[in-house]
Chains A and B, each alone.
Chain A
């Protein structure tokens, strides 16, 4: 554990809390992609099955349980409790275009051809692209509420901070995991356009609005 890793985890935690609070306080999930949230739930389920086979630390276990539980709580709020507010006609990204290549890639490019390892690899690849339905939705509607922008910023920062953590670990522990690093870089790059808009618009008090 180093400061970048901890900051990354906290940023991830913050993103989820912002999202849940937004939905709960406004009683609405408008502007949020249910498809991205389903992909995140699938990501954490596939990755954290090792909760029952591999003990790392109390911190690790608590965080994993939190990520799995909140991902399903978000889905419950979006698809059941506040279903009427879900903007499904703007949430039209075809997730099979992500799931199919990610599944094939996980079967081909992995550290070990075993059930748990392929699930882990699948989750790493899937997480990298899981935000695309959400970014697609923002580009389709041409705008995002500020609170949604803060959520996306925290979520994007998390993998960027992990990249610093991997650089740190490479120099201090000679440890690196190419699959995680490459997927993490792809994940972060997908946010670049959004980061730019966040700094130039949202932080100056303007709404995130794409040029027509």
Chain B
């Protein structure tokens, strides 16, 4: 599960 702190979206 990806960490929500990663912010890979724009």
The total of chain B residues at the interface (CB under 8 A) is 9
Interface string of A154-171 (1 = CB under 8 A from B): 000000001001000000
Does A174 make an interface contact (CB < 8 A)? yes
The total of chain A residues at the interface (CB under 8 A) is 24
A117:B5 contact, CB within 8 angstroms: yes
A56:B5 contact, CB within 8 angstroms: no
CB of B9, distance to nearest CB on chain A (Å): 7
Interface residues of B (CB under 8 A from A): 1-2, 4-10
Interface residues of A (CB under 8 A from B): 5, 9, 12, 50, 54, 56, 60, 63-64, 67, 111-112, 117, 120, 162, 165, 173-180
Known: A120-B7, A175-B4. 7 other contacts (CB 8 A): A5-B9, A54-B7, A56-B8, A117-B5, A176-B4, A177-B4, A178-B4
